């Protein structure tokens, strides 16, 4: 009964969203066409429209900004208090676009302050809306976008982008019944379609290969006596080291969640940005703060590892005959690859950054074409770095696209 009611209200909401989308009239000409109305696209649209451009946002989903709702487990970790460029795969490019960490944070928080959003800082500099609701972030962005005069046109999937006489011709298909296909002539376009192949490979620009990152890792224990199935569902705070041919490649502190196929959790997600098949992950429990000698002393004092290890983890590790004390400082897992790649938070790859001006995010060989967010080959660690990049790159691309449109 309850399930039927939920289905009915979902389909009602869909019908209403479709009706709203259908009622939007898409202008045939604009100064700036923003392709994709997710995190970076909404900010680019606001920046361009507030700079005086006539802006239209073409979004394939039934509403703009829906990608924001799933972020940070519905709470939206919207930025980091210390957005250091070294936390990204292309630090030189990120620093050239965003400035130093202080300026980067100032620009992002200043933008949200002007949107009327209050943020709060949690552990490790993670910034959230103080409502702890991702919908707050989406709401203030949609409100500011509407106030700016940008036309938000959901249920329009961009299918082709071509250079025209005075700019760009953008073709779109109507997504969902009732929404007509069409085209927009724009003096400038901002590509903000997010990660993944889709439109990006058809733009005539070079793309780096697409790889899921910030995802769980499929692993096997090096010690055959350890069974991951016995640890399934247990969480631990660890120091996690990624080892390649015995040398440390990366180290993360944070939570791991054991799964039958390997490890999930923030520490595993961060290592997934660098891990390759055949690498080893070494987990040191107790936040990695205690040396083996300290662990032995505590175990001898308590008569078990319960003083520094979740007793359920201790008993699972002991099941096959291994010594939990030995494993507590170095539980080795061999990486087999990305697990559940369809649930990855970010797609690495996309438009190669070397083709873009760092001052404007305009493609060097395609004047009037700008890109931002995950469409560019930029990805960051967990902790608000990816959204921070989406907002800041959206600000740069949107303002520059408006300036380009004025010149044409």
Ligand X SMILES: Cc1cc2nc3c(=O)[nH]c(=O)nc-3n(C[C@H](O)[C@H](O)[C@H](O)COP(=O)(O)OP(=O)(O)OC[C@H]3O[C@@H](n4cnc5c(N)ncnc54)[C@H](O)[C@@H]3O)c2cc1C
Binding interface with ligand X (CB under 6 A): 35-41, 58-61, 67, 70-72, 76-77, 157-158, 192-194, 198-199, 345-346, 373-375, 384-387, 390
In the complex, minimum distance from the CB of residue 177 to ligand X, in angstroms, rounded to a whole number: 17
203 alpha-carbon distance from chain centroid: 22
Q: Which two tokens stand for residue 107?
A: 């620009």
Residue with Cβ nearer ligand X (67 or 282):
67
In the complex, minimum distance from the CB of residue 213 to ligand X, in angstroms, rounded to a whole number: 10
DSSP class of residue 224 equals T
Backbone angles phi, psi at 344, to 5 degrees: -60, 145
In the complex, minimum distance from the CB of residue 78 to ligand X, in angstroms, rounded to a whole number: 7
Residue with Cβ nearer ligand X (202 or 307):
202
Residue with Cβ nearer ligand X (61 or 314):
61
Residue nearest to ligand X (CB): 38
The tokens 């959901």 sit on which residue? 154
Residue with Cβ nearer ligand X (153 or 333):
153
Burial of 16 (0-12, 13-18, 19+ CB in 10 A): exposed
* Extended beta strands in 226-330, E state: 235-244, 247-259, 262-264, 280-284
In the complex, minimum distance from the CB of residue 402 to ligand X, in angstroms, rounded to a whole number: 18
276 alpha-carbon distance from chain centroid: 20
Residue with Cβ nearer ligand X (59 or 95):
59
Residue with Cβ nearer ligand X (144 or 299):
144
In the complex, minimum distance from the CB of residue 235 to ligand X, in angstroms, rounded to a whole number: 18
In the complex, minimum distance from the CB of residue 196 to ligand X, in angstroms, rounded to a whole number: 8
Backbone angles phi, psi at 153, to 5 degrees: -120, 85
Look at phi and psi of residue 155 and say left if phi exceeds 0, alpha if psi is from -120 to 50, else beta. Answer: left
Burial of 303 (0-12, 13-18, 19+ CB in 10 A): exposed
């Amino acid at each position: 009964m309850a399930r039927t009611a939920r289905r009915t209200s979902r389909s009602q909401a869909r019908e209403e969203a479709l009706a709203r989308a259908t009622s939007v009239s898409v202008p045939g000409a604009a100064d700036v066409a923003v392709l994709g109305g997710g995190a970076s696209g909404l900010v680019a649209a606001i920046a361009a429209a507030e700079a005086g451009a006539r802006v239209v946002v073409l979004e394939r989903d039934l509403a703009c900004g829906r990608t924001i709702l799933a972020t940070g487990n519905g709470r939206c970790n919207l930025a980091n208090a210390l957005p250091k460029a070294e936390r990204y795969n292309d630090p030189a490019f990120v620093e050239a676009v965003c400035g130093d960490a202080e300026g980067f944070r100032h620009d992002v928080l200043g933008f949200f302050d002007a949107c009327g959003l209050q943020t709060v800082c949690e552990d490790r500099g993670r910034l959230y809306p103080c409502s702890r609701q991702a919908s707050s972030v989406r709401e203030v962005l949609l409100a500011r976008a509407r106030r700016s005069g940008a036309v938000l046109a959901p249920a329009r999937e961009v299918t082709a982008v071509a250079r025209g006489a005075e700019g760009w011709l953008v073709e779109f298909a109507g997504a969902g019944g009732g929404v007509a296909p069409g085209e927009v002539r724009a003096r400038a376009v901002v590509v903000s379609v997010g990660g993944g192949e889709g439109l990006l490979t058809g733009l005539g620009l070079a793309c780096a290969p697409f790889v899921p990152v910030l995802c769980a890792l499929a692993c096997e224990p090096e010690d055959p006596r350890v069974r991951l199935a016995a640890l399934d569902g247990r969480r631990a705070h660890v120091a996690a080291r990624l080892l390649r041919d015995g040398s440390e490649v990366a180290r993360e502190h944070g939570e791991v969640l054991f799964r039958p196929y390997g490890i999930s959790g923030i520490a595993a997600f961060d290592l997934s940005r660098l891990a390759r098949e055949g690498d080893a992950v070494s987990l040191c429990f107790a936040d990695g703060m205690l040396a083996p000698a300290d662990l032995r002393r505590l175990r001898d004092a308590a008569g078990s590892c319960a003083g520094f290890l979740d007793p359920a983890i201790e008993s699972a590790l002991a099941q096959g005959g291994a010594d939990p004390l030995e494993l507590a400082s170095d539980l080795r897992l061999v990486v087999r690859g990305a697990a559940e790649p369809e649930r990855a938070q970010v797609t690495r790859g996309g438009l190669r950054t070397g083709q873009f001006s760092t001052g404007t995010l305009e493609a060097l060989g395609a004047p009037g074409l700008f890109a931002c967010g995950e469409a560019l080959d930029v990805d960051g660690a967990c902790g608000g770095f990816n959204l921070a990049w989406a907002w800041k790159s959206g600000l740069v691309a949107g303002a520059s696209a408006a300036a380009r449109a004025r010149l044409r």
